[in-house]
Amino acid sequence: MPNHPNTDSQNESVYPDEEDWQIAFEPFEGHPYAALQLGFHLTELKRLIEGAKRLEALSAIDLAIDSLFEHSDFRNVSRELFLTAIQGRLSPDIEDLIRQLGIRI
């Protein structure tokens, strides 16, 4: 299996560490207003979670995931496959098939 810095990480936590966030936010380089907007959204999610409004927070996260799907290569294949991939539940055989389809994971 290829060496992939994100999936081959020695970090045992399921939560993103600082390096993961730096990678995730690379597209914001040169887009300070978009970074500020995302900061507002993350702060609102944090507020909802802290205020025990977990269902509203989960709904907001689901909307974000749906929006990310539209920007992924999976939009040409399957929403269910996208959800399986982001949940980390792809089998090695399915990962190979996805790569053969030209989708980067």
**pLDDT tens digits, 25-60:** 899 899 888 888 888 888 888 888 888 778 888 888
Q: Write down the pTM of the prediction.
A: 0.57
Considering the domain architecture, whether residues 67 and 86 belong to the same structural domain is answered as: no
- Calculate mean pLDDT across residues 94-99: 90
Considering the domain architecture, whether residues 56 and 92 belong to the same structural domain is answered as: no
Q: Which has more confidence, 9 or 45? A: 45
Report the domain count for the chain: 2
DSSP for residue 53: -
Structure tokens at 1: 């299996």
The residue written with tokens 């496959």 in the block is 81
Considering the domain architecture, whether residues 81 and 47 belong to the same structural domain is answered as: no
Considering the domain architecture, whether residues 87 and 65 belong to the same structural domain is answered as: no
d(CA 102, CA 50): 40
Per-residue three-class SS string for 56-85: HHHHHHHHHHHHHHHCCHHHHCCHHHHHHH
d(CA 55, CA 23): 28
